[in-house]
Structure 1
Amino acid sequence: MVVDYSLYLITDRSFLNGRSLANCVREAIEGGVTLIQVREKDISTREFFKVAKEVKEVTTKYNIPLIINDRIDIALAIDADGIHLGQSDMPIEIARKILGKDKIIGISAGSISEALEAEKNGADYLGIGTVFFTGTKKDIEEPIGIEGLKEIVNKIKIPSVAIGGINKNNCEEVMKAGVNGISLISAILANDNIENSSRNLRNVINNYTK
């Protein structure tokens, strides 16, 4: 599978104000989002399965890859295209054995050593950050900034997506660091018009994607 990492949406229903996640995902894709990650932290397995299944129906219709955050069981249950793992989640080697060689596995990395380790162990892409301070991750210490992002990107050969505090005002600066894409939550989902907010980001990114 050839994956376009350029505009990567991570879901967070807390920004939706009661709107349907599936509909919001559809609007984001129509605005130019190229990859969806379903991220749910505080719901039951049954509810996570239901949410992910509804989103999968949309991504399948538009032929957009669907990644599940952390939960390999959910990814398998809905036949998602892949999984994204943090540094404290299941080791990538074990995840690969469970998922098989054809699924996408992304790894979060906040340092050169984490990035190189993930690449060595077979990650398909890296989520690099946190780049800037963000309200959606409360447990980070100091963001790596643009310079930290550049340092990691220059050391790896696999695709990279920047994450953390990225929005329409700083996404050009982030893309200039050499990443393959940007990953966002509130910069898309917190807007009343999700399709337009996605399209505005897409227009900036298009200047930096091959």
Structure 2
Amino acid sequence: MKINKLQYIATTAQAAGLACQGGVRWVQLRVKNLPPTEWRQRALATQAACRQYGSTLIINDNPALALEIGADGVHLGQQDMPPAEARALLGPGFIIGGTANTFADIEALVAAGVNYIGLGPFRFTTTKEKLSPILGLAGYAEIMAQCRATGITVPIVGIGGVGLADMAALWATGVHGVAVSGAIGQAANPTATAALFVAEVADNQYVATA
């Protein structure tokens, strides 16, 4: 199961489409406090945008909706459905991601059988209502070293306020990839900015060390 090195967190189908135009091929739809009908409509519209570009669609927080519309997977926060329960609902073919803030979180998620882990936050971000302690580069370096020492190979993705200038240093810690929200979505030209991130990920000098 391929886990992309660049993941874009979108709140609308339009935002997803603009990022996909720039070469993004993994979109996580994150919506909060929407009525179920509106959430479903937004998910279907985002799915259509992703399919136009052959992009993977991950639904945040809502395994039932992911199953209903046939999304590629679901991302579960620490207050959401347990990954093992989501796996029982979704079956083996769905991608399941989980959120971690500590090495202990990672160990628990690996034991639960997730396909990838979003580790963060890298720095302060307004996209999370309940922000865990900020890790910074030192935190990533320490946790990734623990993962290597214990043989954990589940792809780990840095998340939380990640900008283009952070990529090289984050890659040096050994993360598999990064998840980006505001740096693309709030840019003056989201499509062009997405293309810059795609190019940065493709650059051979930034190959993860783990």
Q: Distance in 1 between matches of 2:195 and 2:52?
A: 19
| 2:16 paired with 1:25 | yes
Deviates more, 1:47-56 or 1:198-207: 198-207
Task: Please report how far the alpha carbon of residue 64 of structure 1 lies from its aligned counterpart in structure 2 after TM superposition.
Answer: 1.2
Q: Distance in 2 between matches of 1:96 and 1:34?
A: 23
TM-score by length of 1: 0.90
Match of 2:137 in 1: 146
Alignment equivalent of 1:67, drawn from 58, 67, 70: 58
Match of 2:158 in 1: 162
* Superposed CA offset, 1:40-92 (max 9, x none): 11110100000000111121222211100011121011100000001111111
Please tell me the root mean square deviation across aligned C-alpha atoms, in Å.
Answer: 1.5
Task: Please report how far the alpha carbon of residue 209 of structure 1 lies from its aligned counterpart in structure 2 after TM superposition.
Answer: 4.2
Matches within 5 A, 1:1-210: 1-3=1-3, 5-12=4-11, 21-154=12-145, 155=147, 156-207=152-203, 208-209=206-207
Task: Please report how far the alpha carbon of residue 123 of structure 1 lies from its aligned counterpart in structure 2 after TM superposition.
Answer: 0.6
Match of 1:16 in 2: none
The sequence identity of aligned pairs, in percent, is 32
Q: Distance in 2 between matches of 1:29 and 1:177?
A: 27
Aligned AA (2:69): I
Match of 1:18 in 2: none
Q: Which runs of 5+ in 1 are unaligned?
A: 13-20
Equivalent pair of 1:130/1:143 in contact (CA under 8 Å): yes
Q: Distance in 2 between matches of 1:64 and 1:32?
A: 9
Equivalent position SS for 2:174: coil
TM-score by length of 2: 0.90
Deviates more, 1:151-160 or 1:134-143: 134-143
Equivalent position SS for 1:61: helix
Equivalent position SS for 1:134: coil
Equivalent pair of 2:101/2:133 in contact (CA under 8 Å): no
Task: Please report how far the alpha carbon of residue 125 of structure 1 lies from its aligned counterpart in structure 2 after TM superposition.
Answer: 0.2
Equivalent position SS for 1:201: helix
Task: Please report how far the alpha carbon of residue 7 of structure 1 lies from its aligned counterpart in structure 2 after TM superposition.
Answer: 1.2
Q: Which runs of 5+ in 2 are unaligned?
A: none
Task: Please report how far the alpha carbon of residue 141 of structure 1 lies from its aligned counterpart in structure 2 after TM superposition.
Answer: 4.7
Aligned AA (2:74): I
**Misfit runs of 4+, over 3 Å:** none
